[in-house]
Structure 1
Amino acid sequence: MTDNTGNLGQLMRVKRIQSIWPSEPQDFTPWLAQEDNIAILADTLGLGADGLELIRTETAVGTFRGDILCRTTGPSPSNVLIENQYGRSDHDHLGKLLTYAAGEDAKILIWLAEEIREEHEAAIALLNSVTEEDFQVFGVEIELWRIDDSAPAPRFNVVAKPNSWARHAKEVQRAAASRKELSPTQAAQLAYWTALQSRLIAARPPFNPVMPQASSWIQHSIGKAGVGLNLATSRPANEIRVEIYLSGETAKGYFHLLKQEKDSLEATLGFALDWQELPTKKDARICIVKSSSGVAEPDDWANQHEWLVTTIIAFHRAFEKPVRSLDRETGIMLG
């Protein structure tokens, strides 16, 4: 057996991130705001790489300026505020974080520093324990590491976060209570999506599978607020569907922007899409439909789920970059 240990490099931590980013507002904040880098942070927080969409940097709140304002990209988008700090966390930045959050109506707060002090971990824990479940505060430490003379690589360590165990327990209790009130159709829908989720997780998709629910459709994030990557069943029409669903004030504008790339998108997917502008609604849809009995025929669920899983992964790969590149102001204007 060959001993290759002599070929291994030495892992070394860069002691001061300021040696790489001299200025926090001028160097680090613009770096973090880049799509690939904020995706790493979002994934570390459990939001998925598509979980955050940048709104702006250095946002003014009264006489103060918050570092980065984002929004989550799930079914109910929330504002996310990121406050960056070099060195050890301090009371001043904690106060700023809360002030900015109030000014921007942010529901998720991320305090990023080289070191989160123990007393600030306790403060974050207190905030998470006394606030509503949709209000979440994270304390995250940023580190830089290199192997020998390699380029430095960032690593985010979450050192303070919402008490997921307590919140999960509440969710389980609510789910148990709701199941007692489910109609036969809702119970079948919940079982349908639960079975699909297992298959989707096994396929290791490039997005975070969502929790099953008792409804005819479920929505996944694809990196932009107002854009959902959806799976749906329709009992009256006897069909199952994979779709990009566009909602809100940007829906029609985003639809027209994406339709400009129709040929490229359909070539990538290998099949034609149904481009539904839905003229009587504010929303719009881009989808592919398959005739199917849907929830009503459990013996066919495995076949349906195979098609849904394969197709939604293909949709994500084809649409992710075009969707991320959509400009919100242009979408509003065209809408």
Structure 2
Amino acid sequence: MARHVRFHETGGPEVLKIEEVETPEPKAGEVRIRVHALGLNRAESMYRSGRYVIEPQFPATMGYEASGYIDAVGAEVKSLEVGDAVSVIPAFMFDEYGLYGDLVVAPARAVVKNPEGVSWETAAATWMPYTTAWGALIDIANLGEGDFVVLGAASSSVGLAAMEIAYSVGATPIALTRKDEKVQQLLNAGAKHVLQVGVHDLEKEIMALTNGKGARVVFDPVTGPDFEDIIKATSKDAIVFIYGALSHDATPIPVMHILGKHTTIRGYEFIEVTADDEKLARAKKFITEGMESGQFKAKVAKVFPFEQIVEATQFLESNAQFGKIIVTIE
């Protein structure tokens, strides 16, 4: 038997239950993984509470990210074998696969081998944030030497990954955060420029940091009333990515700036990478090389044991974390 986290109704973290289920068998194109660590994501909370793009079918499970050993391989799987230390990249929906468990099945195309010496916790914390950031910054925006990129919610796991990716290609990130304590945490994490939303004049400070030229790229999951000042601080032909809507307030747009500067504003989802085999292969290569070189070191905020999945989820929803929340399974 396997142990999976399931829920039988939508609601708060308390609806999550650890239950015994039949050990899943991998089908063609799938592998089974004995999980040692899994990462928590905001999308999972939205799904559990009934606020996601798909509705859960009960009993429901979920989970995008996990790391562990392959212990069974389905037909037609190539390049992966029993015993491989691997991680799973989000490339599916929760009604297809769920990784909250000790023995789980995942599609082989979404599985990547872990570099030598990388812990289970670090591996589980890596692939969602770095793949998300890679797709926007590298694949689409072609971020490079001399570019400035503004990172909203920079203390999130995706924001921190984006910062490291920017530095790795010679770009300069400008980190934004709202909370006092996260300013110093970002500086400690290697950020050279940190601006506090609600304290700094964002347009003025970003323009000063970019020597009056403005940032060429914005990568923001917040939007809201401060978004206008961020856009006003972009350069000509800038590209602005919106990959979330954490603010529930209206988002004003500076129309004349957008017209005059030929600004592109686009929505972005990580599935743009993970649904495309060619892009996914390039993301795997880029991120693996960054991990092997030591440039990419996923920040783990806190580790919980599997039996404390409710407490781990409550911590996720408190917004107190700096980096990724990890759950480990013995």
Same fold, TM-score > 0.5, yes or no: no
In proportion to residue count, which structure has more helix?
Answer: 1
TM-score between both structures, scaled by the size of structure 2: 0.23
Structure label with greater radius of gyration: 1
TM-score, normalised relative to structure 1:
0.23
